Amino acid sequence: MEVLTVTMNPALDREIFLDGFEINKLHRIFDPSKMDMTPGGKGINVSMALANFGVKNVAMGVLAGYMGRVIEEELRKYSELITTNFVHTNGESRENITIMDEVNQTITEINAPGPTLDEETIEQFFQRYEMTLSRVSHVVISGTVPPGVPMDFYKTLSNVASKKGKIVLMEARGQLLTNAILSEGCPKIVKPDLRADRKCLGIELKNIDDYVKVSKIILERGADLVVLSYEIIKNVVATHEGIWLLDTSQQVDISHVLGTGDTYVAGILYYLLRRDKDLFEASKFGYIAAVAKLRYSKKIFPSIKEIEIIRDNIKVERIV
């Protein structure tokens, strides 16, 4: 195992492709391929994408109830390269149902809540996390946390891993991320999650100067690579050597964004583990991996071969 992924709030993602969907009507589905059931949550998605790239990893987090057992089983079925190590607790893990109607061009989503974690569960997770750190070189801490998890939790996870010499990659938002960045063990790779709001460290990201400003602050705090999504398809990438804007010449369908950020993260790690330690080159590889993911409407992760085919379709502009 080379990578440990943390998903504190996993979900079972169920996608139903139902043309002519209407409320107040019985819909029968006769074709099983129109229904998809996949384990979800940002860290779990990274685990799945890494497995596609041939990288052995261990998925950790907290699962709950029957739904939790289904998520775990589906994850293990997905690839032999994924090892599970989840704490199980009371309640039920989240279930996200998406009804895609390609005729009416509608997406209907029903998201169930996850469990509330008690102190004992969090402590148990932490114990197992520390135990598992000895087995990996890289740690991915990604996504939201369920109720009950303190806002300094990601900071603690990052600090413990950094002290043990592990490279931490964090994709999160709000106070969870801010606390981790402002701590002594700031993650080496930071990818703020800007999907809900274009804000990081309390700074609103309105124009490119704001992106540069935030990137510089995160680098000063101890990160070596910062990745910020910019105008949907573009990305601002910052290292101690400079700041760049990445774009693609590839024709893409931006409605297929589910899992692209996670593919990006997996792409960076794959590059660092299998190719070279150059962080800027790794971020370019991650970016093009995410572009390759955009080919699929479903949560299907690309192969390395698919990424290599479009590898040159990247436009790089130096900003700073």
Under the binding rule (CB under 8 A), the answer on residue 82 touching other proteins is yes
Under the binding rule (CB under 8 A), the answer on residue 157 touching other proteins is no
Q: Toward other proteins, which CB reaches closer, 27 or 164?
A: 164
CB of 85 to other proteins, least distance (A): 5
> Which of 155, 204, 205, 203 lies closest to 181, judged by CA?
155
- 115-150 as b/e: b if 16+ CB within 10 A: bebeeebbebbeeebeebbeebebbbbbbbbbebbe
Q: Taken in order 152, 153, 158, 159, is the CA torsion positive or negative?
A: positive
CB of 159 to other proteins, least distance (A): 18
Sole window of 80-88, 158-166, 221-229, 251-259 interacting with other proteins (rule: CB under 8 A): 80-88
Tell me if 75 sits within 8 A of 59, measured CB to CB: yes
Under the binding rule (CB under 8 A), the answer on residue 85 touching other proteins is yes
Q: Toward other proteins, which CB reaches closer, 89 or 158?
A: 89
Sole window of 39-47, 131-139, 159-167, 203-211 interacting with other proteins (rule: CB under 8 A): 131-139
Under the binding rule (CB under 8 A), the answer on residue 317 touching other proteins is no
- Looking at the chain, list the stretches that DSSP marks H as alpha helix, in order from N- to C-terminal side: 42-52, 65-78, 119-133, 153-163, 174-181, 208-221, 260-274, 279-293, 304-309
> Which of 58, 45, 52, 77 lies closest to 2, judged by CA?
58
Size of the site for other proteins (CB under 8 A): 19
Residue from 72, 95, 171, 262 touching other proteins (CB under 8 A): that is 72
Residue from 29, 110, 131, 309 touching other proteins (CB under 8 A): that is 131
Cα angle, residue 7 at apex, residues 2 and 8 outer, rounded to 5°: 140
Q: Which of residues 187-226 bind other proteins (CB under 8 A)?
A: none
Under the binding rule (CB under 8 A), the answer on residue 83 touching other proteins is yes
Under the binding rule (CB under 8 A), the answer on residue 137 touching other proteins is no
Under the binding rule (CB under 8 A), the answer on residue 31 touching other proteins is no
Q: Please give the Cα distance from 34 to 134 (Å, whole number).
A: 42
Residue from 52, 89, 93, 229 touching other proteins (CB under 8 A): that is 89
Sole window of 74-82, 111-119, 171-179, 235-243 interacting with other proteins (rule: CB under 8 A): 74-82
Give the count of beta carbons closer than 10 Å to the beta carbon of residue 244.
18
Residue from 14, 88, 234, 311 touching other proteins (CB under 8 A): that is 88
Under the binding rule (CB under 8 A), the answer on residue 119 touching other proteins is no
To 10 degrees, what angle do helices 208-221 and 174-181 make?
50
Residues that bind other proteins (CB under 8 A): 58, 69, 72, 76, 80, 82-86, 88-89, 124, 127-128, 131-132, 134-135
